[in-house]
Structure 1
Amino acid sequence: MTARSTSPESLWAVVLAGGVGSRFWPMSTPQRPKQLLPLVDDQPLLVNTLDRLRPLVPPARTLVLTNASLRAPILALVPDLPPDNVVAEPKPAGTAAALAWAAKLVAERGGPDAVMLCVHADWAVGDPGTFRDTLRRAADAAVAHRSLVTVGVVPTRDDPGFGYIQPGDEIEPGVRRVARFVEKPDRSRAARMRAEGFLWNSGIFVWRAGDFLDEVDALCPEVAPALKAAGDDLQRFFDDVTPVAVDVGVMERSRRVLVLPGDFAWDDVGTWGALGRVRRHDEAGNATTGRTHLLDARRNVVHAEGNAVVLYGVDDLVVVSGDGLTLVTTVERSSDLKSLIDSLPDDLRQRR
């Protein structure tokens, strides 16, 4: 095993908290997007994320990258975050740009050897202690091997909604090179890859700021020129950069990528139906929040804000109610609300 090579003081957390999360309509709005909603428990997802990281990294070394319109709400929600640590992206530009700018800030404030723990704000993690232990191991591997480390989550189902990682040669116990990244497969291929030991591409990344910036400079022409030219001008950087995902712009091009397996009850909170996997259930498998009453009902997801919701004799439904509007669909159909949202009149679609 890698000897402990990372000092706690060198760790920085980078939380990606942009986007609106349209699949959580009607609760998710531009002013209160998914990451600010209490979807797993009674705390907003972003607060869950920061609380999960806090035993590893204090707020003073935590950066949150988000939409410009959300900077003030986030500072109000998490008052111990230094204002300079909430970075307002002028417009969406992909995760490669966001993480490159974050790496620049971390290198300036903590030095190029500072280690970034990069996560998203919209996950559920059932075992926070093991999650933190895995991040520590990933940090040690990143420092020891001067590598970009990704945590590949051990799959719990044949899910076509995720990308996958094929682990390659082992360089130390539990740490392997990445053989390849695979885009979202169909379900039968996902089943084969799971059986062959592939891991979910979770989007958890750990690296030293300087190592990541070196790879951006060498491999990512979409981002590197804009980063060099911008200096400290965030607006100029986002005006000039070409949007690209970090997986495509850096990770798939780099020969310095390692993967560590992660097994800590992780799930991507991507749809209303997904809440059935991450919320507490009653004996009939119903996952509810707010004032609800269910009789002879199974495997339903109910999110009630203000209004009471009563279900009788129905199974596998999603019911979302609050602020004068109620959505009813099935768990299966909740993964694709785009057609519904596109069909709505403006006063319903553009809720504020």
Structure 2
Amino acid sequence: MNKVAIIMAGGSGARLWPRSTEKKPKQFIHLMGDGSMIQNTVARLEPIFEPKDIYIVTSEYLTEFCYGQLPHIPKENIITEPFPKNTAPCIALAATIIEKKYPQDTVMFTFPSDHVITNLREFHHSLETASKVAYEKNRILAIGLSPTRPETAFGYIQIKAEPKDLGELYDEGVRYSSAFAEKPDTATAKRFIDSGDFLWNSGIFIWRLDTFWDSFKKFLPEDSRLFNKLKKSVGEMNFNSLVEEIYRQIQSESIDYSIMEKAKNVFVVEASFGWSDLGNWDEIYRLSMKDGRNNVIEGDVISINTSNCLVSSYGKMIGIVGVDNLIVVESENSIIICRRGYSDDVKEIVDFLRRKQINKYL
């Protein structure tokens, strides 16, 4: 069985400003673990993928970070988008290039570049299970995680618990997918948890190359027509200019909304490894070690009569006195201060800076 990994690394990480910026977004900086987010992502895939079978999709201006941080990944495996168009075109572009090198029954894994994953043995086992089912059953596989709390920052997958027609696959954690749900409000998230039949959507999908193109053609027929034209130019001098031309014509579509929510051939592997979509400062606080007053302190910080805070210094001394439930994060030229529970709204500051074209802080 041939298999390839596609890592999507083109996001801007606006909710983790000011550490994550457009010039160097979160996937290329150190937040947790031993390396940058993308280095950690590649490292946990290396036990099951050869470097030659790992592909990175990113923006053209970010390629130097890929070359510098991932020197063992072949340069030709760094695929560039002219500008972001969400995950469906991103995966289609990678599949267009990959199918010139691999047969149509190759199993294609798609991964975000910015997740935190623990219990790698279980993670690898889940991928192997999904790979086997995708290859043998010609199905789309999603990896779902048993939720531990009513989280509003994650998407959800509803599953059918019955073992009907699944046989031994049911014992391996394979479930029928019933529905995909976008990030819910608090009341809806609690209802999902109480129902017992919702999993967190990890954003990791596994399918054969031909299964992907069948779904893409069915649900995005106009985009499929454009990518079919592009396939003829892979490896040609005009390829990049044609990619840009096509990207100007296609809609921005997430793979979840455009295919996963509509397809009827989706299975879910119910996994139990530790997982987080490291999307905001509240999540970093939740995952980090706390001191005796429940603070997360990083760098040069003096904390007096302070509790339940995340305070992270990039280089300057930060003094913090008599406060509770704050997030304070400093970078080279910016600082964010917000109440815990509100860090999703940090992206509104980034939106303001973009509208006003205050680019030096982006």
Question: TM-score of the superposition, structure 2-length normalised?
Answer: 0.88
SS in 2 for 1:337: helix
Does residue 274 of the first structure (1) align with residue 283 of the second (2)?
A: yes
Q: 1:141 aligns with which of 107, 126, 133?
A: 133
CA change 1:236–1:73 in 2 (3 A) is same
Query: Mapping of 1:81-120 within 5 angstroms?
Result: 81-120=73-112
Does residue 300 of the first structure (1) align with residue 309 of the second (2)?
A: yes
Q: Deviations over 1:99-142 (max 9, x none)?
A: 12222223222211221221101111122222122111111121
Amino acid at match of 1:216: F
Query: Mapping of 1:133-282 within 5 angstroms?
Result: 133-168=125-160, 169-170=162-163, 171=166, 172-173=169-170, 174-196=173-195, 197-231=197-231, 232=234, 233=239, 234-282=243-291
Amino acid at match of 2:192: M
- For residues 256 and 33 of structure 1, what CA distance do their matches in structure 2 show? 35
Contact 1:107 1:210 in 2 (8 A): no
- For residues 64 and 143 of structure 1, what CA distance do their matches in structure 2 show? 22
The corresponding residue for 2:334 is: 325
SS in 2 for 1:223: helix
Once the two structures are TM-superposed, the CA of residue 293 in structure 1 deviates from its matched residue by 4.0
The corresponding residue for 2:60 is: 68
Contact 1:149 1:207 in 2 (8 A): yes
Q: Deviations over 1:6-33 (max 9, x none)?
A: x4xx221111111211112222222211
Once the two structures are TM-superposed, the CA of residue 85 in structure 1 deviates from its matched residue by 0.8
- For residues 122 and 270 of structure 1, what CA distance do their matches in structure 2 show? 8
Contact 1:104 1:209 in 2 (8 A): no
CA change 1:312–1:38 in 2 (3 A) is same
The corresponding residue for 1:4 is: none
Amino acid at match of 2:247: F
CA change 1:312–1:90 in 2 (3 A) is same
The corresponding residue for 1:351 is: 361
- For residues 318 and 222 of structure 1, what CA distance do their matches in structure 2 show? 45
Amino acid at match of 2:259: V
Once the two structures are TM-superposed, the CA of residue 308 in structure 1 deviates from its matched residue by 3.1
Once the two structures are TM-superposed, the CA of residue 191 in structure 1 deviates from its matched residue by 1.1
- For residues 120 and 304 of structure 2, what CA distance do their matches in structure 1 show? 33
Amino acid at match of 2:40: N
The corresponding residue for 2:33 is: 41
- For residues 302 and 34 of structure 2, what CA distance do their matches in structure 1 show? 18
Amino acid at match of 1:351: Y
Contact 1:103 1:210 in 2 (8 A): no
Amino acid at match of 1:303: S
The corresponding residue for 2:48 is: 56
Of 75-84 and 121-130, more deviation after overlay is shown by 121-130
Once the two structures are TM-superposed, the CA of residue 154 in structure 1 deviates from its matched residue by 1.2
Q: Deviations over 1:227-252 (max 9, x none)?
A: 11222233333233222111122222
Amino acid at match of 1:213: W
Once the two structures are TM-superposed, the CA of residue 147 in structure 1 deviates from its matched residue by 0.3
CA change 1:129–1:191 in 2 (3 A) is same
Of 342-351 and 106-115, more deviation after overlay is shown by 342-351
Task: Kindly report the root-mean-square deviation, in angstroms, between the aligned alpha carbons of the 2 structures.
Answer: 2.1
Amino acid at match of 2:15: R
CA change 1:125–1:191 in 2 (3 A) is same
- For residues 45 and 252 of structure 1, what CA distance do their matches in structure 2 show? 28
Question: TM-score of the superposition, structure 1-length normalised?
Answer: 0.91
Contact 1:166 1:199 in 2 (8 A): yes
- Where in structure 1 are there 5+ consecutive unaligned residues? 1-6
Contact 2:52 2:73 in 1 (8 A): yes
Once the two structures are TM-superposed, the CA of residue 286 in structure 1 deviates from its matched residue by 2.4
Q: Deviations over 1:153-210 (max 9, x none)?
A: 2111101222221112432312122111122222122111112220112211011112
